[in-house]
Amino acid sequence: MHTNAMPKKYALLPIFLFFAFSLCGQATSLDSLITVSKQQKGEALVLTLNEISWQYRNIQVDSALWYAKKAFKVAELLGDEKLNAAAFNSMASAFQANAVYDSAMYYHKKSLKINKGIGDSIAIGNTLNNLGIINDELGNFEASLENYFKALRIYENNGNDQKLVPMVLSNIGIVYKKQEDYDKVLHYYQQALAIYKNSNNVFGITVTTGNIGSVYLRLKKFQEAITYAENAAQGYQELGYTRYVPYMLNNIAVAQDSLGHFEKAEKSYEKAIELFINDGNDYELANTRIGYAKNQSNFKRYTKAISELQLALITIQEKDFKEFEINALKLLSEIYFKEGNFEIAYTTQQEYIEKKEALFQIEKTKSILELESKYQSAKKEKELSVQKAKLAENQLELNKKNYIIYSVLGLAFLLGLIGYLLNGRQKLKNKQLVKEGELKTALVQIETQNRLQEQRLRISRDLHDNIGSQLTFIISTIDTLRYGLKSGESVIKDKLGDLGVFTKTTINELRDTIWAMNKESITFEDLQNRINNFIMTANKVSEKIKFDFDVDSEIESNYTFTAIEGINLYRVIQESVNNALKYAFINSHNKTDKIEVSINKSIDYFHVEITDNGGGFNPAKMAIGNGMANIKKRVEDMNGVLNLKSQIGHGTSVEFKIPVNQDYEN
């Protein structure tokens, strides 16, 4: 849970802004600029209108576009191509700030065409940088990097500008960061930092230092992360940008916590929280409170940790910060469990599961809409290409008539030109058709996956509604028969009781099967939650027995099992615990009966152990029953190795290991 000190992008300030300042003096507010514009004419008016449009772009896009269009009309009357390009850039910036990327790209390209015509290399570099930002936001990383590197070459060839060059280097690093290529991220960030240091640009040094610290945090190089974050925090403090100091303190706290320096982390978290409260930064305050609560749980200060999480949840739910809500609920459930409040832990965990599934549906819908948006953008590009082709065809016909009049040589030249244009047009159409086909194929694949998931859900609902309700009816009927029997018919009552217990067990196993069917795959986090629920239930039924469930903190929560692997792993643990409950403590003389479940991970294997301190038995004299045979079969199905250890008077241990999926990438 760490954040960068500044927004992810360096938005490029148009060149005309600097001229506007010199013309307008100190009139930097919108009201002042509008007043000044009423007294201006010609080039000065165009520059001021562009500046007004720039300031409106983040607050009122319609006004930004209106002033940009007005600037273009004045520039067109003046016949100044450079001013026309600046007006197009203003319109593009307004659309870009409001994420209307297809329109933004259209006007950026018009500006780029003009600037190429007049040879304004710096303006070309500025537009290429903005196109790189748009392609990055759209996920077109290859195109984004192509734009950035072109801009970088231009800036380097024009005096190696000490502000523009490191800006583009940082943006290149951001693209590689999204691709999680952190070695390249550091390479470009370090280049940018060296230039800022060479030019003594304190602000650039501070921002880039903070961003490098966040990369080291991702790489789990915590000491380096602390050093860079501390330097950045000091830089912001000296510059007077105190609002960004708590971002760095939060990163420092996360790194200190990860190194086990809990007391230092505690102080860093507390200072960051204080500053975020002063700044009114609710988003980062909620995030930092979650980290602070985890820190307090390391000290076993569960009451304080719960209090911080409850404060965080109040803010999260008021502001609808869904991504933080599931993190807070998960941690809150774990702390309640450690505190021994199993019922509240169970309720909180159920709420966490519901919120997580709801967020998954939102993200799934969002990804489909994004794909549809890309499809529509491609469709618009295709329509634009067709229009251009029609214009070219009309111009071609006109040229043909003119060249026939002049000479046969002109006609031959015209025919060659026709062939060239038609070939280019056909290639363009073919390219668009291929692109459209790829997008349609992607949509079909998504629709197929959705249908498969709906079918799985329908089958699971049928199991729940039909078989589940029938088993429930059987239990009700058995209970009715038991109460209707006479007191002397105890044998029949006992048999009916056993049948009822067996039916209830069958219902629980049916629920587990439905749970597995509802998923194409099962994450370790899902499995851990399911095991937690089972152990909590067992604890309620067997209050005299102490249960411990220990999970290796190095296991990634998003590690994925297949549905079959997940249910097999869960069943082996469930059967082993049930065997211990049935047989382990019949002749036990321990002061405290105890069952422990632990899951650890090495490089190649998951290691699972279920132990009890019961009476034990002699494995050599014990026949293998159905339960143990099922355990052995399930472990073999997972390509695992099972080892059963038991000694009379010293308890029993069921140990097995299953291989880690080597194709899994964290």
Q: Which residue has the tokens 């099922």?
A: 630
Higher pLDDT, 466 or 120: 120
pLDDT, tens only, 65-77: 899 889 889 888 8
Measured from the Cβ of residue 322, the count of other Cβ atoms closer than 10 Å reads: 15
Whether the per-residue pLDDT at 132 is higher than 90: the answer is yes
Give mean pLDDT, residues 514-520: 69
Whether the per-residue pLDDT at 378 is higher than 80: the answer is no
Domain extents in the chain: 523-659
Whether the per-residue pLDDT at 319 is higher than 70: the answer is yes
Q: Give me the pLDDT at residue 665, please.
A: 55
Is the distance from CB of 380 to CB of 388 less than 8 angstroms?
no
Q: Quickly state the pLDDT bin for 258 (edges 50, 70, 90).
A: very high
Whether the per-residue pLDDT at 382 is higher than 60: the answer is no
The percent of residues above 90 in pLDDT, for the chain, comes to 39
**Of the ranges 71-80, 302-311, 611-620, the best mean pLDDT one:** 302-311
Whether the per-residue pLDDT at 608 is higher than 90: the answer is yes
pLDDT, tens only, 323-341: 788 999 999 999 999 999 9
Higher pLDDT, 395 or 290: 290
Q: Quickly state the pLDDT bin for 611 (edges 50, 70, 90).
A: very high
Whether the per-residue pLDDT at 504 is higher than 80: the answer is no
Q: Quickly state the pLDDT bin for 415 (edges 50, 70, 90).
A: confident
pLDDT, tens only, 16-67: 322 333 333 333 467 888 888 888 888 888 899 888 888 887 678 788 889 9
Cα–Cα distance, 95 to 106 (Å, whole number)? 10
Q: Give me the pLDDT at residue 266, please.
A: 96
**Of the ranges 378-392, 434-448, 482-496, 522-536, the best mean pLDDT one:** 522-536
Give mean pLDDT, residues 228-251: 94
Q: Give me the pLDDT at residue 100, please.
A: 84
Whether the per-residue pLDDT at 113 is higher than 70: the answer is yes
Q: Quickly state the pLDDT bin for 488 (edges 50, 70, 90).
A: low
Q: Give me the pLDDT at residue 206, please.
A: 95
Q: Give me the pLDDT at residue 583, please.
A: 82
Q: By mean pLDDT, which of 90-104, 313-327, 367-381, 416-430 is the weakest?
A: 367-381
Encoded tokens for 28: 């930097």
Alpha helices (H) along 342-407: 342-406
Tell me which fold the domain 523-659 belongs to. Heat Shock Protein 90 (3.30.565)
Is the distance from CB of 222 to CB of 255 less than 8 angstroms?
yes
Cα–Cα distance, 584 to 616 (Å, whole number)? 6
Q: Quickly state the pLDDT bin for 160 (edges 50, 70, 90).
A: low
Q: Give me the pLDDT at residue 551, please.
A: 92
To which H or E segment does residue 417 belong? helix 408-462
Give mean pLDDT, residues 534-542: 83
**Would residue 598 be called left, alpha or beta, if left means φ above 0 and alpha means ψ between -120 and 50 degrees?**
beta
Q: Report which DSSP code applies to 56.
A: H
Whether the per-residue pLDDT at 564 is higher than 90: the answer is no
Q: Give me the pLDDT at residue 434, please.
A: 79
Q: How far is CA 266 from CA 79, 252, 296, 437, 605, in A?
A: 64, 10, 8, 55, 35
Q: Give me the pLDDT at residue 14, please.
A: 30
**Of the ranges 183-187, 280-284, 395-399, 508-512, the best mean pLDDT one:** 183-187
